[in-house]
Amino acid sequence: MRTTIPVAVAFLAGIIMVISFFFDESTFIGGLSQELKIWLTIVGGFTLLLGVVSITRVNFAAVKKRKEDWIYKLITLISIFAMAIPAVLPNSWSSLLGREEGSIYDWLFVYLDTPMMATMFATLAFYIASAAYRAFRARTAESTILLLTATMVMLWRVPMGEAFLNLFPGDIPYFLNTYIMNGANMAVQRGIIIGAALGAASMSLRIILGIERTYMGKG
């Protein structure tokens, strides 16, 4: 029963969602699909709560046993509850509660979370630049084309580079936007999206038919 019921639920839910594309929302199937989407949102909310409980248990156990780098796990626990508790309490109790401007949540988000995210992505940019340098070495004809195209696009994306490109005859930024970004780049993006969609459809079919059962903790 532990295997049969989840597979049956996944099969019925998947079939209903697939069939609902061919029915109007006013029909029974269409209304049922809308109800399933609401349940999906509800279940997704509970999974977020489950994630908070899980990360709290794991980090609390590490802090309790004084494992390696336990101080960082303690900071993680303090950060979770410092952001969560004031955000769920009503603003009517105090101006420091809720998520309004001037609240504890707003202060932590604006002055701690946002700068840390900016720092993380700024640091990540150096790793991206390092990887790009290794990838753009002009060893073959293909890598040379990639290097030239990437250089032109990066120049076009910054005001100083655009001003530099405008010094040359012809509208190079327009050429980049029309033929590179909306032409070759768009074609590659659509190819990647189509490939990802086919992969998602294949995985969905495997789950509906009960072939893929990793969501139950089984291979």
Rounded to an integer, what distance in angstroms lies between the CA atom of residue 218 and that of residue 170? 60
For the chain, 219 residues long, give each residue's pLDDT as a single digit of tens: 677 888 888 888 888 888 888 888 788 888 888 888 898 899 888 888 888 899 999 999 999 888 888 999 999 999 888 888 888 888 778 888 888 888 888 889 889 889 999 999 888 878 877 777 777 676 778 777 777 777 777 777 778 877 887 777 777 777 777 887 888 888 989 999 999 999 998 998 888 888 877 777 655
Q: Provide the CB-side half-sphere exposure for 174 (13 A, CA).
A: 5
* Angle, CA of 207, 208 and 210, to the nearest 5°: 65
The reported pLDDT for the residue numbered 102 is 82
The reported pLDDT for the residue numbered 192 is 94
Per-domain residue ranges for the chain? Answer: 1-83, 89-135, 136-219
The reported pLDDT for the residue numbered 1 is 66
Instruction: Check residue 54 and give left, alpha or beta (phi > 0: left; psi -120 to 50: alpha).
Output: alpha
Q: Please, are residues 199 and 207 in contact by the beta-carbon 8 Å criterion?
A: no
Rounded to an integer, what distance in angstroms lies between the CA atom of residue 212 and that of residue 219? 7
